[in-house]
Amino acid sequence: MTPMTKTLFYRLFAIVTLLVANFAHAQLRVEIAGVGANLIPIAIAGFDGESSAPQQISAIIKADLSRSGYFRIIDTGNVMTENTPVDYANWKSQGANAIVVGSVSRLPDGRFDVRYRLFDTVRETQLSSLSLASQPQFLRIVGHKIADDIYQKLLGVPGAFATRIAYVTKAGREYHLEIADSDGQGVQIALRSNEPIISPAWSPDGTKLAYVSFEKRKPIVYIQDLLSGRRTVLADFKGSNSAPAWSPDGRRLAIALSRSGLTQIYLINADGSGLQRLTHSGGIDTEPQFSSDGQSIYFTSDRGGGPQIYRMSVNGGNVQRVTFDGSYNVSPRISPDGKSLAYISRRDGKFQLYLLDLTNNQEIRLSDNADTNDESPSFAPNGRYLLYSTSDGGQGALAVVSVDGSVRQRLSMQAADVEEPTWGPFMK
């Protein structure tokens, strides 16, 4: 090597090392802490040709399905293409109720063509097939989409693997608003700041985040377009501006403002125009959340003394109290079907995740144990899981729990607190 190429080599090496180090630091570590009682046994073959692609599709599908807590993976030990004749009796005898086969091939334009088939070994029929062409950098999403399809065909509910989550990390004085795939992979930083960031909220189309940033030494609500990075100020009124929540049509947001003195709920158009006050209480009204039909807003209010969850119509009328058990109930999140309400309740001095069935008023505790302080619940777009932040006094981490409490995962990050998570919508 000449001295010059040697220098260049070391410089490149240094850059690559730096990139890898950054990436490794930012990684969310996922641990599976619990699975459901009845697991569907499913055989997943290696996809023909996947070793030549940058992502191993079958490995992504296996990881998604086992993490979901509803499947038991049976390794086939060999590669099968989607055109290999399926020996149903053989797979049934190995205990598999279903089998997944597929192939990956490079197209002349550089994209990859991923094909897959799902078979029911008991009824000896094909349940589904897909053919998805993708740029190499989006192959992980293709794997998640196939896992979503398998989940839907076998459980009758859409999967939520091909979705993203947003959360805030805090390491020393540095705050990041980050976006990751639902499996914690593919972390990207949307905002870096030396002041706190709270309350990120996905636009219904998944292209934007509204959030509260303290970078101007007071809470101000911003909307950021994720692809372009362009930011607009949604609300910067006198006092504090916070708690953004999108309406299901994405045209306006409910926010909490203190411009009148106490914190009250307002509606505002997504471009910052058309401010309209919704609540007129003598106390605190905050944490608004639209129901998925857009007709109701759930919120936290201390109008009755301690904080409780209330519901009102979208024009501010017809206010009804929703929670009655416990003296401190906050952070309401309504399920996509509108039938259950997740919230944080203080019980025996700890802040815990609860789920209230609105059809029969039965509540269940979803926190892993009675010693953690939990916050910021959000539903997966399929309504099957809740994502929340949890702390046992040490470093803050994220947790996922199925709405029946049986399936549990924990997502943590080395040397950083992870807080304020929110699960994004289905991707178009």
Q: Does 282 bind another protein (CB under 8 A)?
A: no
Q: Does 289 bind another protein (CB under 8 A)?
A: no
Q: Which secondary structure element, helix H or strand E, spans residue 211, and what is its range? A: strand 208-213
One residue of 111, 346, 347, 365 binding another protein per CB under 8 A: 346
Q: Are 48 and 15 spatial neighbours (Cβ–Cβ below 8 Å)?
A: no
One residue of 35, 243, 312, 411 binding another protein per CB under 8 A: 243
Site string for another protein, 194-233 (x = CB under 8 A): --x-xx------------x-x--xxx--------------
CA 164 to chain centre: 5
> For residues 286 and 412, which CB has a smaller minimum distance to another protein in the complex?
286
Site string for another protein, 90-119 (x = CB under 8 A): ------------------------------
Q: Which stretch binds another protein (CB under 8 A): 27-35, 51-59, 239-247, 358-366?
A: 239-247
Size of the site for another protein (CB under 8 A): 35
Q: Is 49 left (phi over 0), alpha (psi -120 to 50) or beta?
A: left
Closest CA to 183 of 63, 49, 330, 271: 63
* Span 311-340, contacts to another protein by CB under 8 A: 328, 330-331
Q: Are 230 and 252 spatial neighbours (Cβ–Cβ below 8 Å)?
A: no
List all residues 6 or more positions away from 187 whose beta carbon is below 8 Å from its beta carbon: 23, 26, 27, 28, 178, 179, 180
Site string for another protein, 368-407 (x = CB under 8 A): -----x-xx----------------x--------------
One residue of 36, 186, 239, 336 binding another protein per CB under 8 A: 239
Q: Given the rule CB under 8 A, which residues bind another protein?
A: 196, 198-199, 212, 214, 217-219, 238-240, 242-243, 256, 258, 261-263, 284, 286-287, 300, 307, 328, 330-331, 344, 346, 351, 373, 375-376, 393, 419-420
